[in-house]
Amino acid sequence: MDNKILEKLKKIKMLMLDIDGVMTDGGIIMDSEGRESKVFNVRDGHGLVLVQRHGISVSILTGRTSPVVEHRARDLKITEVYQGALNKKEIFGQILHKNNLLPDDVAYAGDDIVDIPVLKMAGFAVAVADADEMVKKIADYVTVNKGGRGAVREICELLLVAQGFWPEVAARYEFTEFALK
């Protein structure tokens, strides 16, 4: 792992995520009644459980509003959920203030141009593999995996390795190797 990335990851106290295109592949399924569904990756969810177990808080910051997001957040015990965030930069500042955090304490993962203002402020800016090219250009790290297809798990594993928690995770699940290269 690059030393510059490693040093940034060591400081992270909160992982903040966009939903559509990061925790999902960006697709939205609507039935004929207008009910919305999203597909979430179970391994991404387990990664979020692991980082929370090791003291890294998780929050959601999304421009859309969907009951599905509330359900998924509750399932993962994520209590900081901000939907309908038309000005993500402003809400980001409010989250920092509420949690007594500095921008360097936060990793933010996004995929589209609406995420750029927050990515520029965050201590560790992540673009998923299939993010917009402009987002990738300003990111500290571009995931190998696509949004909704393991990108969040990848970020979680990077945080756990950088902060020295990986040996504990490995021991709990009886393995020794780190999956990311």
3-state class of 106 per DSSP?
Answer: strand
Which token pair is 12? 């992270």
Is 84 in contact with 91 (CB distance < 8 Å)? Answer: no
Residue 181 CA to residue 48 CA, distance in Å, equals: 20
Residues 3-172: name the CATH superfamily: HAD superfamily/HAD-like (3.40.50.1000)
Is 179 in contact with 27 (CB distance < 8 Å)? Answer: no
Is 17 in contact with 119 (CB distance < 8 Å)? Answer: no
Is 119 in contact with 125 (CB distance < 8 Å)? Answer: yes
3-state class of 104 per DSSP?
Answer: helix
pLDDT in tens, 77-108: 999 999 999 999 999 999 999 999 999 999 99
Residue 134 CA to residue 154 CA, distance in Å, equals: 21
Is 131 in contact with 153 (CB distance < 8 Å)? Answer: no
pLDDT in tens, 21-74: 999 999 999 999 999 999 999 999 999 999 999 999 999 999 999 999 999 999
Q: How far is CA 176 from CA 50, 168, 169, 170, 173, in A?
A: 16, 10, 9, 5, 9
Is 88 in contact with 115 (CB distance < 8 Å)? Answer: yes
Which token pair is 120? 């520029």
pLDDT in tens, 128-149: 999 999 999 999 999 999 999 9
Letter for the amino acid at 143?
A: T
* 68 CB-near residues (< 8 Å, 6+ apart): 36, 37, 38
Domain positions in the chain are: 3-172
